[in-house]
A and B are shown apart, each in its own frame.
Chain A
Amino acid sequence: MFFAYFAGMLTVLSVLVVTRRNPVHSVLWMLVLFVHIAGLYLFLNAEFMAAIQIIVYAGAILVLFLFVIMLLDLKKDESVRKFQNQWFLGLVIGLIFMVVLVSTASKITVIPPLGEYSVDAIKSEGSMMTIGKILYTEYLLPFEIASLLLLVAIIGAVVLAKRRIE
C-alpha cells in the first residue's frame, strides 16, 4: 500500500519534472521527488540512506541547480517548444522495452540465498554503523577509487574555471 503510493507518486513527479515549461518549477518538482525517494528508503528501513538522500541531493545538488538556473536568462527558452518531433517514436520504443522488462522480470523464480545483513542484523547496530563498517573494510578499494575520481573532477573544474578568467 505504502509502496504503491510511493511508486505512483514517483512516476507522476518524474513526468512533472520533465514537462514543466519553467525550469525553476522543474527543479521544485524534483525536490518533491527526492523527498519521496527518501520516504521510500525509510519504508525500506534504510534511515541513513534517507537522511543522506535529503542532505546531498536536496540540500546541496538541487540548490546548485536552482542557483545556476536562476542566474541564466531563460525567458526565450520558455516560448520554444520543449519536445522534438521524435517524441512519439520514443514513447513506442519505451513501451516496447517496458513490456519486455516486465515479462522477463515476472518469470524470474530463483531467489538467491539471503546475505548476512538482514533487516534485524542492521537494526541491532544501526544502519550508519553497518554501512561504515562494510565501506571501510570490504569495499575499501572501490571507496578510495571513487573518492579519487571525485578529486580529479574537482581539480578539472577548477582548471577549466581558471583558464576562462585569464
Chain B
Amino acid sequence: MTLADFIISIIVISVFLIHVMYVQYFERKTIGHMQARLGPMRVGWHGILQPIADSLKLFFKEDIIPSQSDKPIFFIAPIIGVIAGVSSLAVIPLWETFSIADLNIGILYILALSSVGAYSVIIGGWASNSKYSFLGGLRASAQVISYEISMGLSLVGVMMMAGSANLADIVKAQSEQWFIIPQFLAFGIFFISALAETNRVPFDLPEAEAELVSGFATEYSGMRWALFFMAEYAGVFIMSALAAVCFLGGWSGPDIWFFSYVPDVVWLILKVYAFVFLYFWIRSTLPRYRYDQLMNIGWKILIPLSLANIILTGLLKIV
C-alpha cells in the first residue's frame, strides 16, 4: 500500500462520514414533512447546521458508565460497529475504475462485515448489565441470524446472473439491463432483509422504545451513544449502496444528451440516496412488527422465497 492509497482512503472515509452525519438531518427533515411538521429549523438556514450542533453537544456530554457493567466490552462495543460499517465501504465501486479495494469476493466481504457489526449491538446490550439492554441484545442476535440467511441467498441470484462476486463485474454485467428486472424477487427479499439487518423500522425490535426504553443503547450516553448511531447510519448507507450496485446498475447513468457528461459517481450517489429516502419513507409509514411476526416473515416467507429465486435463476440461465 502506497502513501497515495492511504490518502485516498482517508479522503473517501471523511466524505462518507460527513454523509453519515448529514443523513440524520435528511431523515429528520423527511419525516418532519411527512408528518406535516418542519423538522429542525433553528440552527442555521432551515436548520442546516443542526447535525454539527448535535455532534458538538454529544461530544461534550458526560460519558456515563454503569457501575455494574463489563467495562472493556462496554467500551469496545460501539467501536466494533463503526469499524465494521466504515470498512465495508472499501469494496463499493464508486466509478468504473475506482474502488478502494477491488476484491473478487466483494459481496461476501460486505456480508461478513455486516455479521461482525451485529456483535456491537449484541455485546453492547449484554455488557450494560441492564434488563432492557440485555433483551435488546438477545433480540438483535436472533434477528441477525435469521435475516442474514435470506439476504445472502437473495444475492446468490445476482451472483449467478453476473457470474462473479466482484462488485465491479456485477455493475458491468448490467450494461444492457439492470438486474432489478430479472431479479425483482431477489430485490424485494434483499431490501426487506436489509431493513432487518440494519435494525430499521419496521424491524427495529432491538431498540423498540415502547417496550425496551431504548433497547441495547439504554445505558449508553454521550459519544459512545453517538458511535452506535453512526454505525447504524453507516449500515444504512452500505446496504443502500449494495442494493444500488447489485440491482440498479451502480455507477451507470443514462447515456444521452448532457447526461453523459455527469460524473459516474453522481449517479451512484443519487441511487444510494433514493434507497435511503425509501428507508425513511418506510419508517414514517409502517408500525413496528411483533417479534413472532418478525421471525415468521424471516423463516417462513423470505428464506423459501429466496431459495425458489435461486432455482428460477438457474432455470433462466439454462434456457
Chain A residues packing against B (C-beta within 8 Å): 24-25, 28, 31, 35, 47-48, 51-52, 54-55, 58-60, 63-64, 66-67, 70-71, 126-128
Lowest 3 A-B CB distances belong to which pairs?
A: A59-B115, A51-B108, A54-B112
User: What chain B residues lie within 8 Å of A58 (beta carbons)?
Assistant: 112, 115-116
A-B contact count (CB 8 A): 74
Tell me if A128 and B104 are in contact (CB < 8 A): yes
User: What chain A residues lie within 8 Å of B137 (beta carbons)?
Assistant: 70
Instruction: Tell whether A126 pairs with B111 under 8 Å between CB atoms, given A63-B118, A67-B141.
Output: no
Shortest CB-to-CB span from B193 to chain A, Å, is 14
CB-nearest residue of chain B relative to A52? B108
CB-nearest residue of chain A relative to B119? A31
Judged by a CB distance under 8 angstroms, whether B238 is at the interface is no
Tell me if A55 and B111 are in contact (CB < 8 A): yes
Instruction: Tell whether A51 pairs with B116 under 8 Å between CB atoms, given A63-B141, A128-B165.
Output: no
Contact of B105 among A28, A48, A66 (CB under 8 A): A48
Quick one: CB contact mask for B128-155 with A, threshold 8 Å, 1 for yes? 0000001001100110110010001000
User: What chain A residues lie within 8 Å of B108 (beta carbons)?
Assistant: 48, 51-52, 55
User: What chain B residues lie within 8 Å of A48 (beta carbons)?
Assistant: 104-105, 108
Contact of B138 among A25, A67, A127 (CB under 8 A): A67
**Contact residues of B between 28 and 44, Cβ < 8 Å to A:** none
Tell me if A66 and B141 are in contact (CB < 8 A): yes
Q: Can you spell out 7 A-B residue pairs with CB atoms less than 8 angstroms apart?
A: A54-B113, A54-B115, A58-B116, A60-B145, A66-B123, A67-B138, A128-B105
User: What chain B residues lie within 8 Å of A63 (beta carbons)?
Assistant: 115, 118-119, 122, 141, 144-145
CB-nearest residue of chain A relative to B73? A28
* Majority-rule SS of A interface residues: helix
Size band of the interface chain B makes with A: 20 to 34
Judged by a CB distance under 8 angstroms, whether B126 is at the interface is yes
CB-nearest residue of chain B relative to A54? B112
Chain B residues packing against A (C-beta within 8 Å): 70, 73, 103-105, 108-109, 111-113, 115-116, 118-119, 122-123, 126, 134, 137-138, 141-142, 144-145, 148, 152, 164-166
* Docked complex Cα distance between A121 and B123 (Å): 42
Shortest CB-to-CB span from B72 to chain A, Å, is 9
User: What chain B residues lie within 8 Å of A60 (beta carbons)?
Assistant: 115, 145, 148
Shortest CB-to-CB span from B223 to chain A, Å, is 22
* Docked complex Cα distance between A64 and B144 (Å): 10
Instruction: Tell whether A64 pairs with B109 under 8 Å between CB atoms, given A54-B115, A55-B152.
Output: no
* Docked complex Cα distance between A132 and B145 (Å): 25
User: What chain A residues lie within 8 Å of B118 (beta carbons)?
Assistant: 59, 63
User: What chain A residues lie within 8 Å of B70 (beta carbons)?
Assistant: 24
* Docked complex Cα distance between A1 and B74 (Å): 33
* Docked complex Cα distance between A28 and B122 (Å): 11
Tell me if A55 and B115 are in contact (CB < 8 A): yes
User: What chain A residues lie within 8 Å of B138 (beta carbons)?
Assistant: 67, 70-71
User: What chain A residues lie within 8 Å of B145 (beta carbons)?
Assistant: 60, 63-64, 67
User: What chain A residues lie within 8 Å of B119 (beta carbons)?
Assistant: 31, 63
* Docked complex Cα distance between A52 and B145 (Å): 15
Shortest CB-to-CB span from B29 to chain A, Å, is 35
